């Protein structure tokens, strides 16, 4: 859970930073080759987020159809699609602020999670289960 929150936080932070660099004209993406943009992203220390195929999520070891070798290597071009695939309307100050707020929320959620012990999480899950179970169970009639 902590790893998922950390990844979400980093992805949102990187997206906000990416847009800010474009808005500030420190990063140019228009009319350039993707490979050249990816080189710049690496220079700016953007983290690659590899895509996980549905086959791999299902437990298969090899992909049925592989893309370019460059896209499949760790840190390949496709690993930056979470940035390069953003819509043009994302290049606004409002979107930057929204991403920063979302990143801050994820960071707070992560910090709260890290403060909890496994026992606390287990007890919380059990409490939620019991409440849901009690709501769904038909009331038993008492026999005299």
Strands (E), 6-141: none
Please indicate, yes or no, if residue 56 is contained in any of the structural domains: yes
Looking at every residue in the chain, the average pLDDT score rounds to 84
CB-CB neighbours of 56 under 10 Å: 13
CATH number of the domain bearing residue 42? 1.10.268.10
Two tokens, residue 87 = 């819509």
Q: Do the domain assignments include residue 110?
A: yes
Return the half-sphere exposure (C-beta side, CA atoms, 13 A cut-off) of residue 20.
Answer: 13
22-29 average pLDDT score: 95
Look at residue 19 and tell me if it is in a domain: yes
As for how many domains the chain has, the answer is: 1
The residue segments making up the domain with residue 51 are 2-116
Residue 36 CA to its chain's centroid (Å): 24
Q: Is residue 88 part of a domain?
A: yes
Looking at the domain assignment, is residue 63 inside a domain? yes
Q: Is the pTM of this model over 0.75?
A: no
Quick one: average pLDDT of 104-121?
94
- Contact status, residue 68 vs residue 38, Cβ threshold 8 Å: no
pLDDT digit string, tens, across residues 74-86: 558 899 999 999 9
Q: Is the pLDDT of residue 4 over 50?
A: yes
Of the candidates 102, 90, 94, 103, the one whose C-alpha atom is nearest the C-alpha of residue 22 is 90
Inside any domain, residue 140: no
């Amino acid at each position: 859970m902590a790893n998922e929150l950390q990844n979400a936080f980093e992805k949102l932070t990187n997206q906000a930073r990416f847009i800010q660099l474009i808005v500030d004209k420190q990063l140019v993406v228009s009319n350039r080759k993707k490979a050249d943009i990816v080189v710049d992203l690496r220079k700016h220390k953007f983290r690659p987020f590899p895509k996980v195929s549905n086959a791999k999520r299902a437990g298969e070891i090899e992909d049925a159809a592989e893309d370019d070798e460059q896209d499949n290597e760790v840190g390949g071009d496709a690993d930056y699609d979470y940035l390069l695939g953003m819509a043009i309307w994302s290049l606004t100050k409002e979107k930057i602020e929204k991403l920063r707020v979302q990143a801050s929320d994820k960071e707070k959620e992560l910090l709260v999670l890290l403060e909890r012990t496994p026992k606390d999480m287990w007890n919380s899950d059990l409490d939620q289960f019991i409440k849901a179970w009690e709501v769904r169970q038909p009331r038993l009639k008492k026999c005299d």
